[in-house]
Structure 1
Amino acid sequence: MVHASEVFKAAGGNRHTSAADWESDVLAYGCGNNIATWNPTDPSSNGVQQLLTGHTDVVNVVKLLRKPNSQRAVLISGSADKTVRIWYGDADSPSAFSRSIALDGHQASINTISILPGCDVFVTGSADATLKAWRIDTTAYDNALNGGAQIDQSSSQSLIKVELIQSISLKPRFFPLATAFARLGDGPLVLAVAGTAAYVQIYVQRPEGFVLEATLTGHEGWIRSLEFARESSAADSDLLLSSASQDKYIRLWRFNKGAELPAASAAANDPSLGVLGRSLSNKAHYIGDGESKHSITFEALLIGHEDWIYTARWSTGSDPSKTPRLLSASADNSLAIWERDEDSGFWNCVTRLGEISAQKGSTTATGSTGGFWNGLWSPDGVTVTSLGRTGSWRVWQYQPQSDIWEQRVGISGHVREAKDIAWAADGSYLLSTGSDQTTRLWAECQQGDSSSWHEISRPQIHGYDLNCIDTLGTNQFISGADEKLLRVFNKPKMVANLLNKLTAFKDESSADLPDAANIPVLGLSNKAIGTIDTDQEAAQAAFNGQTGDKDALDPASTISKSALDLDHVPYEDHLARHTLWPEHEKLYGHGYEISAVAASHDGALVATACRASSIDHAVIRLYETAGWREVRPPLTAHSLTVTSLAFSPDDAYLLSTGRDRQWALFARDEAAPASTMYKPLTANPKGHARMILDCAWAPTGNVFATAGRDKTVKIWHLDGGHATCKATLPTTVSATAVAFYPLSPPATLLVAYGLEDGRIAVATINTNTVGEDFTVGDTYALDADIVPVQTVNALRWRPNTAELAVASDDHAVRIYRFEDVPTARNVVAPTKGN
Structure 2
Amino acid sequence: MIDLKAQYLAAGANRHPSAADWDENGVLAYGADRNIALWRPQNDGSHGVCDFLQGHADTVNVLKFIPINGVLLSGSVDKTIRIWRKDMATERYMCTQVISDHESSVNCIAVVAGANMFVSGSADSVIKIWSLDPGSDGKSHRASLQQTIKVTPRFFPLSLALSPLASASNSYVLAAAGTKDIIQLYVLDSERGFEFKLEATLAGHEGWIRSLEFTQETRDPHSDLILSSASQDKYIRLWRVHQGKELPAAAASADPSLGAFLPGKSLSNKAHRFRACGLDYSATFEALLLGHEDWVYSTRWRGRNNRLQLLSASADNSLAIWEADAATGVWVTIARLGEISAEKGSTSATGTTGGFWTGLWSPSGSTVVCLGRTGSWRLWNRSDEEDRWIQGVGISGHTQSITGVAWSKDGNYLLSTSSDQTTRLHSKWKREGHISWHEMSRPQIHGYDLNCIDSLGTSQFVSGADEKLLRVFNEPRAVANLLRKICGFGGAEIDEMPDAANMPVLGLSNKAIEAVADDEEVQNGNEDERAAIDPASVVYKSTLDFDHPPTEEHLSRHTLWPEIEKLYGHGYEISCLAASHDGSMIATACKASSIDHAVIRLYETKTWHEVKPPLAAHSLTVTRLRFSADDRLLLSVGRDRQWAIFQRDSIEMTKYTLLESNPKGHTRMILDAAWAPTSMPVFATAGRDKQVKIWARDQDLAGFSYKSTITEDSAVTAIDFLHILHKDLLLLAVGMETGRFKIYTLSVNKNFSAEEVSLHSVISSADPSKAVTKLAWRPSQEDGQDTEVAIASEDSSLRVYSLNISALSVS
Aligned positions of 1:278-427 closer than 5 A? 279-317=266-304, 319=305, 322-360=306-344, 369-427=353-411
Q: Which amino acid aligns with 1:230?
A: Q
2-structure distance, mates of 1:210, 1:649 = 69
Q: Which amino acid aligns with 2:113?
A: P
2-structure distance, mates of 1:671, 1:274 = 84
SS at match of 2:720: strand
2-structure distance, mates of 1:650, 1:808 = 29
Aligned positions of 1:786-801 closer than 5 A? 786-801=766-781
User: Percent sequence identity over matched residues?
Assistant: 55
2-structure distance, mates of 1:721, 1:358 = 67
Is 1:697 the counterpart of 2:675 in the alignment? yes
Q: Which moved further from structure 2: 791-800 or 199-208?
A: 199-208
CA deviation profile, 1:112-143 (whole Å, cap 9, x unmatched): 000001111111000000001111112544x3
2-structure distance, mates of 1:695, 1:365 = 43
> Aligned pairs, how many?
787
Tell me the equivalent position of 1:12.
Answer: 12
Tell me the equivalent position of 1:256.
Answer: 242
Change (3 A) 1:490 1:376: same
SS at match of 2:493: coil
Tell me the equivalent position of 1:779.
Answer: 757
Is 1:453 the counterpart of 2:440 in the alignment? no
Tell me the equivalent position of 1:549.
Answer: none
The Cα shift of 1:236 comes to 1.8
2-structure distance, mates of 1:179, 1:557 = 40
Tell me the equivalent position of 1:31.
Answer: 32
The Cα shift of 1:379 comes to 1.3
Change (3 A) 1:704 1:799: same
Tell me the equivalent position of 1:244.
Answer: 230
Aligned positions of 1:38-49 closer than 5 A? 38-49=39-50
CA deviation profile, 1:723-752 (whole Å, cap 9, x unmatched): 111111111101111111155556321111
Tell me the equivalent position of 1:602.
Answer: 582
Tell me the equivalent position of 1:154.
Answer: none
Is the 2:346–2:354 Cα contact (8 Å) retained in structure 1? Answer: no
SS at match of 2:515: strand
Is 1:80 the counterpart of 2:65 in the alignment? no
Tell me the equivalent position of 1:204.
Answer: 187
Q: Which moved further from structure 2: 740-749 or 594-603?
A: 740-749
Is 1:634 the counterpart of 2:632 in the alignment? no
Is the 2:258–2:266 Cα contact (8 Å) retained in structure 1? Answer: no
Is the 2:299–2:312 Cα contact (8 Å) retained in structure 1? Answer: yes
CA deviation profile, 1:629-662 (whole Å, cap 9, x unmatched): 1000000111111000000000000000000000
Is the 2:430–2:488 Cα contact (8 Å) retained in structure 1? Answer: yes
Tell me the equivalent position of 1:669.
Answer: 649
Is the 1:366–1:461 Cα contact (8 Å) retained in structure 2? Answer: no
CA deviation profile, 1:338-380 (whole Å, cap 9, x unmatched): 0001221110011111001222379999997100000111111
Change (3 A) 1:396 1:479: same
1:223 to 181, 184, 209: 209
2-structure distance, mates of 1:824, 1:501 = 40
The Cα shift of 1:456 comes to 0.2
Is the 2:717–2:737 Cα contact (8 Å) retained in structure 1? Answer: yes
Change (3 A) 1:276 1:226: closer
CA deviation profile, 1:443-478 (whole Å, cap 9, x unmatched): 011121320000000000011111100000111000
Aligned positions of 1:29-178 closer than 5 A? 29-67=30-68, 72-92=69-89, 96-138=92-134, 140-141=136-137, 143=138, 160-178=141-159
Q: Which moved further from structure 2: 503-512 or 33-42?
A: 503-512
CA deviation profile, 1:732-789 (whole Å, cap 9, x unmatched): 10111111115555632111111111111111111125xxx32223433565712111
SS at match of 2:496: coil
Root-mean-square deviation (CA), in Å?
A: 2.5
The Cα shift of 1:579 comes to 0.4
Change (3 A) 1:814 1:275: closer
SS at match of 2:557: helix
SS at match of 2:285: strand
Q: Which amino acid aligns with 2:481?
A: N
Q: Which amino acid aligns with 2:686?
A: A
SS at match of 1:699: coil
Would you identify which runs of 4 or more consecutive aligned residues in structure 1 move more than 6 Å?
Answer: 271-278, 361-368
| Superposition TM-score, scaled by structure 2 size | 0.93
1-structure distance, mates of 2:423, 2:706 = 36
Tell me the equivalent position of 2:529.
Answer: none
Tell me the equivalent position of 1:152.
Answer: none
Change (3 A) 1:363 1:307: closer
2-structure distance, mates of 1:365, 1:437 = 19
Change (3 A) 1:371 1:742: closer
Tell me the equivalent position of 1:809.
Answer: 794
Is the 1:469–1:478 Cα contact (8 Å) retained in structure 2? Answer: yes
Aligned positions of 1:265-280 closer than 5 A? 265-268=251-254, 279-280=266-267
Tell me the equivalent position of 1:235.
Answer: 221
SS at match of 1:511: helix
CA deviation profile, 1:417-442 (whole Å, cap 9, x unmatched): 11110000111100001111000100
Unaligned runs of 5+ in 2: 526-531, 782-786
Is the 1:614–1:639 Cα contact (8 Å) retained in structure 2? Answer: yes
CA deviation profile, 1:477-513 (whole Å, cap 9, x unmatched): 0011001211100011111111111124343232211
Is the 1:310–1:373 Cα contact (8 Å) retained in structure 2? Answer: yes
Is the 1:23–1:66 Cα contact (8 Å) retained in structure 2? Answer: yes
Is the 1:761–1:782 Cα contact (8 Å) retained in structure 2? Answer: no
SS at match of 1:510: helix
CA deviation profile, 1:536-581 (whole Å, cap 9, x unmatched): x34x26x689xxxxxx999688521012322211010000110000
CA deviation profile, 1:207-233 (whole Å, cap 9, x unmatched): 151100000000000000000000010
2-structure distance, mates of 1:762, 1:554 = 49
Is the 1:362–1:519 Cα contact (8 Å) retained in structure 2? Answer: no
Is the 2:378–2:551 Cα contact (8 Å) retained in structure 1? Answer: yes
Unaligned runs of 5+ in 1: 146-158, 546-551, 826-834
Is 1:479 the counterpart of 2:458 in the alignment? no
Q: Which amino acid aligns with 1:575?
A: L
Q: Which amino acid aligns with 2:10?
A: A
Is the 2:83–2:95 Cα contact (8 Å) retained in structure 1? Answer: yes
CA deviation profile, 1:158-213 (whole Å, cap 9, x unmatched): x5322100111000100000000001124211000000000100000141511000
2-structure distance, mates of 1:736, 1:817 = 21
Is 1:709 the counterpart of 2:714 in the alignment? no
Is the 2:378–2:552 Cα contact (8 Å) retained in structure 1? Answer: yes
CA deviation profile, 1:14-49 (whole Å, cap 9, x unmatched): 000100011120110000000001111112111001
Is the 2:577–2:625 Cα contact (8 Å) retained in structure 1? Answer: yes
Q: Which amino acid aligns with 2:51?
A: Q
Q: Which amino acid aligns with 1:816?
A: Y
Is the 1:185–1:292 Cα contact (8 Å) retained in structure 2? Answer: no
Q: Which amino acid aligns with 2:21?
A: D
SS at match of 2:766: coil
Tell me the equivalent position of 1:731.
Answer: 712
The Cα shift of 1:293 comes to 2.3
